[in-house]
């Protein structure tokens, strides 16, 4: 692997030296894109045989679970906030 990398490096140095000494020159010419002419056409025709779908309702007997609730009185935690200036804060009590 190192040999191959060294060989590529040596080849690059040789090409650069030849270009700088004028022994190798590249002649280029500008290119252009091909011109394209498009005429109107038709879309391809497609024929498909698909299944039909019927939507409706039907009466059936099913088991439905029921949920019931009862009311009980229990003790729940509460939080009260007294805003400053409403007459019920600690500063008003002093």
- Kindly state the percentage of the chain with pLDDT values over 70: 90
Q: Tell me the per-residue pLDDT of 32-43, one tens digit each, with 9 for 90 and over.
A: 888 988 888 888
User: SS3 of 50, please?
Assistant: coil
Q: What angle do CA 18, 19, 21 make, to 5 degrees?
A: 65
pLDDT digits (tens, 9 = 90+) for 6-34: 999 999 999 999 888 888 888 888 888 88
What are the tokens at 47? Answer: 């024929």
Whole-prediction pTM value?
0.31
The greatest distance separating any two alpha carbons of the chain, rounded to the nearest whole angstrom, comes to 104
């Amino acid at each position: 692997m190192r040999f191959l990398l060294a060989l590529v490096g040596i080849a690059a140095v040789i090409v650069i030296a030849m270009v700088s000494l004028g022994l190798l020159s590249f002649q280029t010419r500008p290119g252009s894109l091909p011109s394209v002419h498009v005429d109107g056409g038709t879309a391809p025709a497609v024929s498909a045989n698909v299944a039909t779908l019927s939507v409706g309702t039907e009466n059936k007997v099913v088991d439905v679970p029921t949920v019931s609730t009862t009311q009980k009185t229990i003790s729940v935690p509460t939080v009260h906030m007294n805003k400053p200036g409403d007459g019920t804060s600690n500063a008003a009590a002093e």
